[in-house]
Amino acid sequence: MKNPCLLSYLKKEFNTSPSNKEQVIDFYNEATEDYRFWSHDLNMHFGYFVPFKTNLLKRDSMLNEMNKEVFQRLNITDKKKHIVDVGCGMGASIRYGISNHPNLAVTGLTISPFQVEKGNELLNTHRGTILNRDYRNTFLKPNSFDGAMAIESLCHTGCSKDALEETYRILKPNSTFVIADAFTKKDFKEMNPLAKYTYKGLCESWSLENLGNVHRVKEDLERIGFKDVKVQNIWYRVAPSVLHVPFTISAFILKKLFKKEPLKPESIKNLKGSFFALLSSLSLTNFGYYIITAKK
């Protein structure tokens, strides 16, 4: 059930589209629990495959390998560090980070009240906390964090410039920002009909304002002031976990039918989004999955 007071507050507090904001909140409030079917650890992203290291049949090993890759690029050492997870979901990446780095503290940001409540219950540690904040307007102090990460979260705003600017503002000098997400390689008008259909399906299913163009995002990062911006296309690392999508969708639907449980609208949107994600992986001239690193 929607909380009218919360939605009214969000509309007034943030300079964003209320309709899309409500869609994102509703989606994650209602569909977050469905991600348990995708990942026992509640990782809400795709994985990173490493031959002879990760198991193709064990999805969570690939999903956690993605977490590992992001933290490695953040240059987490034995020194005490405090980083921010920009769009943290249920905090799976936070839990991975603090369990593998004993001197690390992580603050996560999400606009979903459900994720704040349940995510903090799962964290249950003073080194990790989740706040109900929009990553475009965090109300956090400038120069506060030793690093920032965003795994498949900035896509909800098309990796907007205001989100990148806000992240730059709250980072300490010489700290690193790591983004792992899907991007377009072309503008929408330049795509072929199938790619346009896929693009629209992704945005509608997962409540995305748009998908960021990787070339535009790199330019935005540099204009904002980030330096040493590196863009790495890792679609071939991500593809094995994407191939799990049709089997996971089928198993999820069969489970619901067996239990005679109806599919929630948010669950249906999530399933559709997963299908379009699989379709996008077949259009490599239009879409890609990248890890972007940048330093303040």
Residue 255: its pLDDT value, please?
87
Over the chain, what is the mean pLDDT? 90
Which residues 6+ apart lie within 8 Å of 270 measured at CB?
Answer: 27, 31, 34, 205, 206
Q: Within a domain: residue 33?
A: yes
Interior angle at CA 44, CA 41 and CA 47, nearest 5: 85
Q: Within a domain: residue 290?
A: yes
pLDDT, greater one: 257 or 99? 99
Q: Within a domain: residue 243?
A: no
Q: Within a domain: residue 124?
A: yes
Q: Calculate what percentage of the chain has a pLDDT beyond 70.
A: 92
State the average pLDDT over residues 268-290.
Answer: 90
Q: Answer whether residue 12 shows pLDDT above 90.
A: no
Q: How many domains does the chain have?
A: 1
Residue recorded with tokens 């070339």 = 215
- For residue 146, what are the domain limits? 4-186+209-238+286-295
Q: Within a domain: residue 261?
A: no
CATH number at residue 290: 3.40.50.150
Instruction: Please write the tens of the pLDDT for every residue from 87-124.
Output: 999 999 999 999 999 999 999 999 999 999 999 999 98
**AA identity, residue 162:** D
Distance separating alpha carbons of residues 6 and 215, to the nearest angstrom: 36
Q: Within a domain: residue 251?
A: no
Q: Answer whether residue 8 shows pLDDT above 70.
A: no
What b/e readout covers 37-49, taking b as 16+ CB neighbours within 10 angstroms? ebbebbbbbbbbb
> pTM (2 decimals)?
0.90
Q: Within a domain: residue 181?
A: yes
Q: Within a domain: residue 231?
A: yes
Instruction: Please write the tens of the pLDDT for every residue from 132-142.
Output: 999 999 999 99
